[in-house]
Structure 1
Amino acid sequence: MAQTMMRKMAVSGACVFIGLTRRSSSRALVAGAKNLSTQKKEPRVLPAEGEVTKSVFMSQSTDIYSNLALEDWMYRNMDFSNHHVMMVWRNDPCVVVGKHQNPWMEANVPLLAEREIALARRSSGGGTVYHDRGNLNITFFTPRERYNRKYNLELVKRALFRSFNIKSIINEREDLLVRDKYKVSGTAAKLGRLTAYHHCTLLVNANKADLSKALAKREHGIQTNATASTRSPVANLGDLNNQVTVEGLQTAVGYEYLRTPALQLDDGGEDQIAKQRGFQFVNPTDQWFPGLAEIRNELQSWDWCFGKTPIFTVSRAFPVPLELLAPSRSYGATQELIINMTVDKGLIDDVTLSIPPGLVASGFHGEAEVVTQLRGKRFTAEALAALQQALLTRHHRPERKLDDTEQFVAKCFDQVVNTV
């Protein structure tokens, strides 16, 4: 229904689909940035609801870092006082963690690396989500004073029912649920002094098997104060109505957004749509949005994705195989190698090895060399490489191979840094 109505309105001229050119979009957006910087020096007087227009920006990129950079660019540079914007976007497979989360706890990091699935950290809080082409992502931009998460979710809820006859509810966590328990949308926000945005993702026909593997929880021994995700059963909207597509949902939600006034959840119909700025295709590149590439590079960097992780400790114990223990002695308890690490900004800050008597008796030593080599290394395979190098060089024979005991220690470290 929404697609049919949109086509009718596009023909009648009630709704205008605008493909922004690089020149016009850059000028318009930079002008908004200049207005915002001027406004910072004066008291805020926001226009009345009737003076506020709306646009739906449709990103032409499926790159998670480019789309997150576009969000940040708009948040930093645009003035939304009399122009509210809803951005719709989708991504190639990726995992996105909240600003204050620990990716090693929230995602299967080794699997993501193996499958070349991007891991990104966004600038808003909230929990970890999996994206692919079967997700529709929506960002609502407003002035800080007019941030209203419930208003936005009600719009989405109304669009689902109006266009696809899907009933949903908004729970106390402000997630969107269907059939009273299945989550189809999570939500997060960023609130600044002048500007705010609220974004959510809608599961349409996402690969739930890949979602489950990418976000699999495992025993990893990590202790942290980082924000933890709340796990919930999920469903695709396509499971409820096979007519739902990402493209159709994008049109339906955009149509609902444009037919609704800026502050009140009234249905203004075609008359309200005629007052708006319509749908606009945008391309998140430096040519369209000067300075966006720099933001994207920062968001893609290891220092942001992993280095912004709050400090954490990891402790793992590994039973030593009997064949590695000194055969001439008997032991009253299980011999365990215990590894303790403190990781700050994604770098190993401290590490201790508790070497059991059985390994000491069999000839393993060199904890000091190992600890020295590991400090300051990234909590990744970089640490494992440093450990192996330390074990190889502790007898000043870099050409030799690790013996069985050393291979066991290296394997234990591998399991710690790869959290498998």
Structure 2
Amino acid sequence: MDSRVVVVGGGVIGSSIAYFLRASDPSVSVTVIERDPTYARSSSALSAASIRQQFSTPLSIQMSLYGIEFLRSIGERLEIDGAKPSIDLHEGGYLFLATPAGLGTLRENHALQQRLGANISLLDREALQTRFPWLNTDDLAAGAYGESGEGWFDGYGLVQALRKKAQALGARYVAAEVSAMRRTGRRVTEVIASNGESYPCDVVVDAAGAWSRTVAAMVGIDIPVFARRRSIFNVSSPAQLAHCPLLIDPSGVYFRPEGRSFICGTSPSADNDPDDLPLDEVDHALFDDVIWPALAHRVPQFEALRVQNSWSGYYEYNVFDQNAIIGHHPDVDNCIFANGFSGHGLQQGPATGRGISELILHGRYTTLDLSSLGFARVLENRPIVEKNVV
């Protein structure tokens, strides 16, 4: 059993790993190196902070089923001296909508989700109109709605709760940027930080999110993960939408309630999605040209909208197949990767933290087997095809 673990990145993935390691084995030394302890540019803090089971691959569904179990019990799990954190979990459900062209895929995904225990209802057009009378269903065939286990929460609150609990359990957090790693043969022996300190390690974990590619390169590994900017818009509207879920339109545009307003967004087209765009800019043209027309079509009450606020965050985007890369690389014995979540990091963080702690402590996964997300599929060109990409 390796005893000195250095985790690069203290967002939801890194802090989840630190928490599970210290909770499972207090003898393990855990150091988390996080360059921005304010998390001002962290994907964990800037995302739409939601969780769903409506995926098309079994492992993603199972990871999020554990994720919702973890989030529901966060007060007890991450309690410190009687103080229980709250992340304002709201199980408002996801609503995936399908036109006739997408009906077959929706049904196929729903059957898999049901088989694995997710509480998802398949609603025909009439049922959609009954449940959500504010919805324009003219061009729809059906929708899949999460009756429970899906919704949204305070992502920044989750990161802080994990971090504080990991620290209370003895994990050390260092505010610095990793500048280099010393590798001897097949092992990383030291992590060197910008503060001039060197951290010897038995295991190093790359959990650097949108910056993971730079960290991987320090040990000679090329990882297909890039920083892709996503803009989120907070809009006000006089619309009164009873029982409003997080809605995924067939166009790819999404929206959900946020207090008395709504937040919304979409991914840019593949030919207009470059790497490393500045986070201090927002793609207002995407809102004007794509998001607003789609919202006004799907919800006629959204004809009257006003943008109140907007911001951008990074997806740590796995260009290979938009799924996480979790586990060892065959060329480095003691470096573990947890990268490329492509927008699913917050909801898959608890399962990832648990799994990587098992890998470090036992040399294998002992609960949910995450091995299919390993590097082998990338090296052997075996992409995992996810049909429900948002």
TM-score tier, shorter chain, comes to under 0.3
Question: Computing the radius of gyration over CA atoms, which structure comes out larger, 1 or 2?
Answer: 1
Provide the TM-score with structure 2 as the length reference. 0.22
Provide the TM-score with structure 1 as the length reference. 0.21
More strand per residue: 2
More helix per residue: 1
